[in-house]
Amino acid sequence: MARVLLTAAVVFATIYALVDCLQTNGRLVRVLPKAVWLLVVLVPVLGPMLWFVAGRVDSRAVQRSAGGGRRRPPGPRGPDDDPEFLRRL
């Protein structure tokens, strides 16, 4: 039973890493070109681990740098919480 679970975990990690590599923007891939990473990910156990550790950029770091340190605008508010809406009444 343990062998089946271990094999399933390896297959799942490989598929997840492959899909993640395919969906990642080429400019956000580190160390190697994206085409090479697609081949590396197919190496059992070691490939997906390398992709997650060294191949992709942390998405949280990308969001912080894209915002330039500025806060995101607040989400939608109800009409009674919007002073501009209340002024127009």
Which tens digit of pLDDT belongs to each residue from 24-54? 988 888 889 999 999 999 998 999 999 999 8
Query: At 88, is the secondary structure helix, strand, or coil?
Result: helix
Residue 10 has pLDDT above 80, yes or no: yes
Residue 3 has pLDDT above 90, yes or no: yes
Range of the domain at 7: 2-68
pLDDT value for 65: 58
- Establish if 79 belongs to a structural domain: no
Q: 37, 51, 54, 41: which is closest to 11 by C-alpha?
A: 41
- Establish if 75 belongs to a structural domain: no
What pTM value is reported for the model? 0.65
- Establish if 54 belongs to a structural domain: yes
- Establish if 50 belongs to a structural domain: yes
Distance of CA 39 to the CA centre of its chain: 19
Residue 63 has pLDDT above 90, yes or no: no
- Establish if 49 belongs to a structural domain: yes
Number of compact structural domains in the chain:
1
For 45, list phi and psi in degrees, rounded to 5: 65, -60
Distance of CA 56 to the CA centre of its chain: 8
